[in-house]
Structure 1
Amino acid sequence: MIGRLRGTLLEKQPPWLVVDVGGIGYELEASMNTLLALPGLGETVQLYTHLSVREDAHLLYGFFREPERALFRALIRVNGVGPKLALAILSGMEQDQFIRCVMDDDAKALTRLPGVGKKTAERLIVEMRDRFPHWSAEQLSGLEATQHAAVPARSSDPLADAEAALVSLGYKPTEASRMLSGLEARQSTEALIKAALARKLAG
């Protein structure tokens, strides 16, 4: 099991990134919260990781802080929620907002996330509610701390990259385009994605 990586950030194309560790490039998929917290390309980065082993692939997921990985692991234990959907949930909604939705039985807000229908939202609420009281205040504050860092733009076409990232999270191309419509194209890819997701959740 690969639990943590420390190396040089080589590539960042949401939701993917590559970290060089001793000459080996590890490709990881990460949430938007983690991508926003990362330093610039060429900088040293440390990520907590989760390895998902399938018959056709070994997939590595990266998290800037351990509490985010803990929430990811809690999500994939919910019946019907796999790593892809868990990452979409972490990317589409701030962690503290997700916790409030669960504790307040707000299934309607959860259904705005890609891949989350009414039954899945209800299942998330039922199965996740009992887990949050056991989380320490330090863990929850660590989750929130990933939400406020900024990353400089590195792409020649942030708008196109943002649309591709939204599609990879589970949104349909037409929906992703609509979510980005009217946003300032000179923003970074990460900023565009966050703005589009916020717009989606606002309804």
Structure 2
Amino acid sequence: MITFLEGKLDTKQLGRVVMNVSGVGYEVLIPLSSYDGLPLEGEPCRILTHHHITDADQKLFGFCTEDERDMFLKLLTISGVGPKLAISALSGLPVRELKNALINGDIKMISSISGIGKKTAERIVMELRDKFDSGEQLDAFAPAEAAGGDNRLRDAALALTALGQKPDDAAKLVKNAAKKLTPDMSVEDLIRLALTK
């Protein structure tokens, strides 16, 4: 199994790159989200991969981040979702927005992705919604502007869990409290806000 390739980025196109690894050219199919993270052609590059093998074919799919690859692999576990559709999903929405839509059951947003109809979107949500840990769920609930290293929501949920709340209930309480989150609010303030009806 090929887990990553490290070498020179020989060719860079939307949806496809060719990696030159010690004189061997590897074609790697990529989502649009990874395209933006790649260096210029001819520069050194390391790309995470998934080697997809079927009876009829084998292909390499590449990703700039572990989050992209993890989401791709989660999507592949769903019946009727192949690598082409998984790449399309990652090209249609950034990983954070896709994760947020899955956790919140946003069928409309997921079915807006090219190639994914309403029934497929419902199946994806049903099968993947519970496959995210409580930390990922809280990250998805955080406002986009708080995404850059703001751990207050996660810390508040962990504290509520330590106080006896079920992880799912803690996540819901913190999600509701996050609507009133301000930059100067402490974790303790957030916990108090979450516990007040």
Instruction: Provide TM-score, normalisation by structure 2.
Output: 0.67
Gap regions ≥5 residues in structure 2? 145-197
Which stretch shows the higher mean deviation, 126-135 or 33-42? Answer: 126-135
Equivalent runs, 1:171-190 vs 2, <5 Å? none
1:71 aligned onto 2:88: no
Higher relative contact order (CA 8 A, sep 6+): 1
SS of the residue 1:130 aligns to = helix
Corresponding position of 1:98: 98
Corresponding position of 1:84: 84
Q: Following TM superposition, by how much is the alpha carbon of 1:122 offset from its aligned partner in structure 2, in angstroms? A: 0.4
Partners of 2:103 and 2:130 within 8 A in 1: no
SS of the residue 2:133 aligns to = helix
Gap regions ≥5 residues in structure 1? 145-203
Cα displacement string for residues 4-37 of structure 1 (whole angstroms, at most 9, x for unaligned residues): 1100001012101000000000000001111100
1:60 aligned onto 2:76: no
Q: Following TM superposition, by how much is the alpha carbon of 1:134 offset from its aligned partner in structure 2, in angstroms? A: 5.7
Corresponding position of 1:175: none
Percent identical across equivalent pairs? 36
Corresponding position of 1:46: 46
Distance 1:69 1:52 in 2: 12
Corresponding position of 1:125: 125
Q: Following TM superposition, by how much is the alpha carbon of 1:56 offset from its aligned partner in structure 2, in angstroms? A: 2.4
Q: Following TM superposition, by how much is the alpha carbon of 1:55 offset from its aligned partner in structure 2, in angstroms? A: 2.3
Query: CA separation of 1:135/1:64 partners in 2, compared to 1, >3 Å: closer, same or farther?
Result: farther
Q: Following TM superposition, by how much is the alpha carbon of 1:108 offset from its aligned partner in structure 2, in angstroms? A: 1.1
Larger Rg: 2
SS of the residue 1:116 aligns to = coil
Q: How many residues align?
A: 140
Distance 2:85 2:135 in 1: 22
Which stretch shows the higher mean deviation, 55-64 or 39-48? Answer: 55-64
Distance 2:99 2:136 in 1: 13
Instruction: Output the amino acid matched with 1:85.
Output: L
Instruction: Provide TM-score, normalisation by structure 1.
Output: 0.65
Distance 1:75 1:135 in 2: 19
Which stretch shows the higher mean deviation, 102-111 or 118-127? Answer: 102-111
